[in-house]
């Protein structure tokens, strides 16, 4: 029999239960009885290893096509980054220099600031999505030990050229500089940065991997030469994921492909509707009016659409809009007419989420820093779930109307949406564009995000 597809591997979980249970059992045990003093047994204490966690780590290994020994499940996505940085910093013979992006998750920014203020690392921020600028900065520094990348960035949806950046860094440093990639926005289903040359990849398992926002988890996938050092830190600190959360994450992974596929279809439909019907797009002819915008890497209007498509198998399901007015954005997000979109931080859940990052997930970033990095304070982040997309559209439209952003006009049998911020007028086509956008998704991101062949050469790790 040929090797099963990725989708099948995630659903068909292999385990060695002696009773033949159809799903992996939960080993909610701290200790394991010693059978011999002469032979090393596989498990003795759950901090060091647990059968349920091992099954989970094998599933993640299937997702990233690596050996199970290269995968580690820990208590959160931020724990994953902390473990990675501890591993790499402890292996450095001097205070290391870290290059990181200028559009980072707020928790990542907080941890990097913590390290820098305590003189554990020197952190240099730059626009990692500008390859030429990144290379120029890299060459100007006497030494770079770690490069931390995200793509697409959260929430500005900027795309870093991961293959090009990894190739440059490895060539420029003879493989001495370690590349770390936060792959949470894409998940291993859409992208595998290890194949481009990254040394360590991590995800917040809280997001797409689990998909239900009922656990916190993080996963680390490391090259073979780094993996033992990562395990040493995890075992020393006791950061391994608990058996119960490991068991729930195994269950969540089974539906990853169907969830993410539906979420991305919804995001494609919604982004086209927001841009073309609701008028969230710049208007060069009306420069005196607020410039609205829809940010989504699945839109052809995204300046890096083709770049993203070149090394990813899907656009993800996170998009953002700018209203041109902070107060207006606040009224939309806090609208009492929102019944489906939940106002929460995070993303990747089966239900749709809406937030204002500058007030929520990115509030820990100093306002002056946000200003320097041209972070739009009016930005609204939309994280699509698996609901009927028409319901998501009508829900948003009600909030837009209550907030005073749009005016609905009835013309015969048709309803038109007038964007009062920029004067954009278009017929409301909710319910008419699903198949059209499904075809767009099909054309540009493969017939199925889990059946499309991984099309980039995978080097030996």
Q: Which of 53, 64, 86, 105 is catalytic?
A: 105
The answer to whether 47 is a known catalytic residue is yes
CA–CA separation, 448 and 446 (whole Å): 5
Long-range residue pairs from 367-376, CB within 8 A, at least 24 positions apart, any chain? 369/109, 373/102, 373/103, 373/125, 375/103, 375/156, 376/156, 376/322
State the DSSP string of 404-442.
Answer: TSEEEEEETTEEEEEETTT--EEE--TTTSHHHHHHHHH
What DSSP state is assigned to residue 151? S
The answer to whether 293 is a known catalytic residue is no
For strand 425-427 and strand 414-419, is the pairing parallel, antiparallel, or unpaired?
Answer: antiparallel
Is 43:240 a contact under the CB 8 Å cutoff? Answer: no
Task: Give the three-state DSSP class for 382.
Answer: strand
The answer to whether 454 is a known catalytic residue is no
The answer to whether 370 is a known catalytic residue is no
Count, residues in the chain:
461
Is 13:254 a contact under the CB 8 Å cutoff? Answer: yes
The distance from CA 404 to its chain's CA centroid, rounded to whole angstroms, is: 32
CA–CA separation, 113 and 107 (whole Å): 10
Q: Which of 43, 47, 122, 331 is catalytic?
A: 47
Q: Which of 178, 207, 295, 313 is catalytic?
A: 207
CA–CA separation, 52 and 139 (whole Å): 45
Q: Minimal CA–CA distance to 183: which of 57, 256, 81? A: 81
Is 320:297 a contact under the CB 8 Å cutoff? Answer: no
Angle, helix 243-253 to helix 51-64, in steps of 10 degrees: 30
CA–CA separation, 448 and 153 (whole Å): 24
Instruction: Kindly state the helix (H) or strand (E) to which residue 11 belongs, with its residue range.
Output: helix 6-11
Q: Which of 102, 161, 182, 245 is catalytic?
A: 182
Is 448:441 a contact under the CB 8 Å cutoff? Answer: no
Catalytic residues: 47, 105, 182, 207
């Amino acid at each position: 029999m040929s090797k099963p597809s990725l989708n099948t591997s995630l659903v068909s979980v292999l385990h060695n239960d002696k009773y033949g249970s159809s799903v992996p059992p939960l080993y909610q045990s701290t200790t394991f009885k010693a059978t011999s003093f002469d032979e090393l047994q596989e498990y003795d204490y759950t901090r060091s290893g647990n059968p349920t966690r091992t099954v989970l780590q094998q599933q993640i290994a299937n997702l990233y096509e690596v050996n199970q020994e290269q995968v580690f499940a820990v208590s959160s996505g931020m724990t994953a980054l902390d473990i990675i940085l501890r591993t790499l910093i402890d292996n450095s013979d001097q205070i290391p220099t870290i290059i990181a992006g200028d559009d980072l998750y707020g928790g990542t920014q907080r941890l990097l600031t913590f390290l820098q203020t305590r003189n554990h690392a020197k952190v240099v921020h730059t626009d990692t999505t500008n390859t030429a600028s990144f290379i120029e900065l890299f060459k100007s520094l006497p030494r770079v030990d770690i490069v931390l990348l995200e793509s697409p960035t959260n929430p500005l949806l900027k795309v870093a050229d991961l293959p090009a950046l990894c190739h440059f860094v490895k060539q420029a440093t003879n493989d001495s500089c370690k590349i770390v990639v936060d792959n949470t926005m894409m998940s291993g289903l859409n992208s595998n940065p290890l194949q481009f040359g990254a040394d360590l990849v991590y995800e917040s398992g809280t997001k797409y991997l689990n998909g239900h926002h009922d656990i916190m988890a993080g996963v680390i996938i490391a090259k073979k030469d780094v993996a033992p050092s990562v395990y040493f830190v995890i075992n020393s600190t006791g950061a391994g994921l608990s058996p119960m959360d490991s068991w729930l994450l195994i269950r969540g992974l089974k539906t990853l492909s169907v969830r993410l596929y539906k979420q991305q279809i919804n995001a494609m439909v919604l982004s086209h509707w927001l841009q073309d019907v609701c008028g969230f797009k710049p208007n060069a002819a009306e420069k005196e009016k607020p410039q609205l915008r829809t940010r989504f890497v699945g839109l052809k209007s995204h300046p890096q659409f083709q770049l993203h498509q070149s090394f990813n198998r899907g656009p993800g399901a996170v998009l953002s809009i700018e209203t041109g007015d902070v107060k207006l954005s606040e009224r939309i997000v806090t609208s009492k007419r929102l019944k489906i979109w939940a106002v929460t931080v995070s993303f990747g859940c089966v239900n749709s989420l809406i937030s204002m990052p500058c007030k929520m997930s990115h509030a820990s970033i100093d306002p002056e820093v946000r200003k320097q990095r041209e972070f739009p304070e009016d930005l609204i982040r939309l994280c699509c779930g698996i609901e009927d997309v028409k319901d998501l559209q009508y829900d948003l439209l009600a909030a837009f109307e209550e907030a005073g952003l749009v005016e609905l006009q009835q013309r015969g049998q048709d309803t038109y949406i007038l964007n009062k911020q920029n004067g954009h007028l278009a017929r409301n086509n909710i319910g008419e564009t699903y198949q059209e956008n499904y075809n767009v998704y099909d054309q540009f991101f493969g017939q199925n995000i889990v059946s499309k062949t991984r099309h980039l050469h995978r080097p030996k790790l």
